[in-house]
Structure 1
Amino acid sequence: MNALDADNVPPTMRAVLLTGHGGLDSLVTSDEAPTPTPQTGEVLVRVGACGLNNTEINTRTGWYDSMVESSLSEELGVHGRDDGAASSWNKASVEFPRIQGSAVVGRIASVGRGADPGRIGERVLVDPSIRDEDLPVRAQIAEYLGSERDGGFAEYVAVPSNNAHVVDSPLSDAELATFPCSYDTAEEMLDRAELAKGETVAITGAAGGVGTALIQLALARGAHIIAIAGASKEARLRELGAHDFVARDSGAVREEVEKLVGERGVDVVADVVGGAMFGTVLKLLRRGGRYATAGAIGGPTTKIDLRDLIYKDLEMYGITNPTALTFTRLVEIIQTGRVKPLLQEVFPLSELRAAQAQMLKRAHVGKYVVVP
């Protein structure tokens, strides 16, 4: 391995800059963006690849703002909004220009004061959640890579040394970049819901990045999986390991699931759709069942029948970002080969707009990745 040091780091780099909230035209490629300097306790990572996730589109379009009630449609993702919606996931304002990109894999090129210089040259998978450990464990996320601080849609990114996890894997950089954000979120959902061997889990949005991660991680726990997604995705999700499949667009999701499990219901629902689907999936749960959500691609506002929550003694978990322990556990799972990357397509960084446009069509199963 050839060690890299600060003397070999150029003063400027290629990056895609988010110039403001809006459509795809707010993403501008620059070959003269300043290369970040790692601060105290930080490392500079030379990006090998960076995966695409919904969070970048949500931030770009202002979807996280509480004034937004629509789903993240292709129209919204391509053209943006015109109503001033501008909050990030934690209600903070995003500073522009911002380099997005949360799912980074690469090698450490240099280190800041207080970081171990022996780490230079290490191949790392980056935990995108920047935490304040003085806060309660469920409230530690202070910044998110590509949102409150610059991320990996660039040749270099600076992150706290603790967030750069050494990864020993034969997988390519592009393959490894399919894991952060989606798989750590999915693992946190299943961990919080305490999904156990032999239990049945219904997964909505099962063809997306988090959905396919949920399938693989639930299989690793020995659970029985009912995948809920568009009808065209059935063959690929069964190939991935889903035991049963229900078409989201059948108009009878509840009835189809009940045919599979009977009136007793499922043990866990892992939901990334929300919207009109929310009331339906609550009715799928057995008494004492557990519901975990980490997304609302079907829309952020919905109705709830409190009788389902109360008289079935349900547990409900909202997942924003996983804990540090969850990301550490994910790296171990990746290294043992218990999950496999679902790499849909690789784009050069300069074609990020095209990659996001393709992602917004929702025709894929797996992840899109860009490489510098």
Structure 2
Amino acid sequence: MTERTVMRAAVVRTYGGPEAIEIPEVPRPEPGPGQVRIRVAAATVNPVDLLTRAGTLVAAGRMAPRAQTGLGWDVAGVVDATGPGGVRGFRPGDPVIGLRDLLDVSLGTYAEYVVLDATAVAPAPEGVPAAAAATLPLNGLTAWQSLDALDLPSGATLLVTGAAGAAGGFAVELAALRGLRVAAVAGAADEKLVRGLGAEWFIARDAPDLAAAVRALVPGGVAGALDAAGAGLPALAAVRNAGAFVAVAADAPVGLRGIRSANHWISADGTALAQLSALAAAGRLTLRVADTLPLDQAQEAHRRLAVGGLRGRLVLTP
């Protein structure tokens, strides 16, 4: 039997609403040196995919327009092939997770196969279903790397906005594992959830004065803030002098009062991803799947994510 050399993939050829997503047959990608091809079992739907599909990132100058744009960053699956000469640490048949961190590509992880650099891939968490494992790379690494950028010592206080969201939830758990004391901002209905993730203090996101609410709980302000909800200046005002602030959902405000203020932009890191995978396998990270849908329903997944209100991620399965 002749080997199949085409695959289905969700792509955008004209930017627009969910209806702009097409699922044509395209040539199956071939791995180059230092790369692996993954047979996709699950791919997560993230807000950045909606921005990509709509052309928002092109308009903002963060990616170039192209005739065909791929969708999807996270993947869980099985190594199908390696590049010429093989790849150290990975063989065909290995269950893996990985992250595609290039914006400007013609194919993403919403596909039957994806090719990634081996340095962007890690062993899948043992005993974890593929749909749940696929929710880890983008948001888990965002939280991990943002905490690294804040560089707070064990015992320090940290404000996390968007604490019930995907990146924010991982940030709360990882911060608690690092010995940080977390003040979490989320919707009032999510207080039990974020406290279960490890938050010591809770602030409702509709509090009339976020900084005052935080400072009432943590006199003098928190040592750092991880802004996963785009709170901006109100969150910065909750940070003590000479503290640290990292934004992941919007542009970081100018650092005032000696505060280190920066944006964090994700970078694929197989070594860190392997550590996250081990934590997930040990049950120390909460992987939340709102629903799984077949690849053919990528348009519907985008519509549902745009409506909001989900706890956990939507995941596509080829």
TM-score by length of 1: 0.78
- 2:76 is the alignment partner of 1:105: yes
Q: Is the 8 A contact 1:195 1:268 kept in 2?
A: yes
Query: Corresponding residue for 1:285?
Result: 239
Q: 8 Å contact 1:124–1:166 — kept in the other structure?
A: yes
Instruction: Tell me how far 1:168 sits from its aligned partner.
Output: 4.6
User: How much has 1:214 moved relative to structure 2?
Assistant: 0.7
Shift of 1:283: 1.1
Per-residue CA deviation, residues 261-286 of structure 1 (Å, 9 max, x unaligned), is: 12x10011001233xx3111111111
Q: Where does the alignment leave 5 or more consecutive residues of structure 1 unmatched? A: 1-6, 66-84, 130-142
Distance 1:25 1:168, change over 3 A: closer
Counterpart AA for 2:185: I
Residue aligned with 1:227, SS: strand
CA distance in 2: counterparts of 1:281 and 1:161, whole angstroms: 37
Q: Which of residues 323, 332, 338 is equivalent to 2:284? A: 338
Could you give the per-residue CA deviations for residues 19-75 of structure 1, whole angstroms, max 9, x where no partner exists?
222111111123x2222122233221100101111221122223335xxxxxxxxxx
Poorly superposed stretches of 4+, deviation over 6 Å: none
CA distance in 2, matches of 1:354, 1:196: 43
CA RMSD of aligned residues (A): 2.3
Percent of residue pairs identical: 28
Pairwise CA distance, 1:12:
1.9
- Deviation at residue 233 of structure 1 after TM alignment: 2.5
CA displacement 1:337-357 (0-9 Å, x = unmatched): 321211121111111121122
1:86–1:29 Cα change, 3 Å: farther
Question: Does 2:305 correspond to 1:351?
Answer: no
Find the partner of 2:34 among 38, 41, 49.
Answer: 41
The Cα offsets for residues 107-126 of structure 1, whole Å up to 9 and x where unpaired, read as 11122313249711111111
Q: How does 1:217-232 map to 2 (within 5 A)?
A: 217-232=174-189
Whether the 8 Å contact between 1:53 and 1:209 is mirrored in structure 2 is: no
Rounded Cα–Cα distance in structure 2 between residues aligned with 1:157 and 1:233: 35
Q: Match for 2:38: what amino acid?
A: V
SS at the partner of 1:197? coil
| TM-score, scaled to structure 2 | 0.91
Please tell me whether residue 186 in structure 1 is matched to residue 143 in structure 2: yes
| 2:222 is the counterpart of 1:266 | yes
* Deviations, residues 324-344 of structure 1 (Å, cap 9, x unaligned): 343343334334432121112
Residue 362 of structure 1: aligned partner? 308
- Tell me by how many angstroms 1:172 deviates: 0.5
Query: Do the aligned residues in 1 keep the contact of 2:183 with 2:203 (CA within 8 Å)?
Result: yes
Q: Distance in 2 between matches of 1:331 and 1:219?
A: 17
Give the equivalent residue in structure 1 for 2:162: 205
| Partners of 2:12 and 2:147 in 1: CA distance | 33
Partner of 1:249: 206
The alignment partner of 2:22 has SS state of strand
Aligned residue pairs, count:
316
Ranges in structure 2 where 5+ consecutive residues have no aligned partner: none
The answer as to 2:15 corresponding to 1:59 is no
Distance 2:168 2:34 in 1: 34
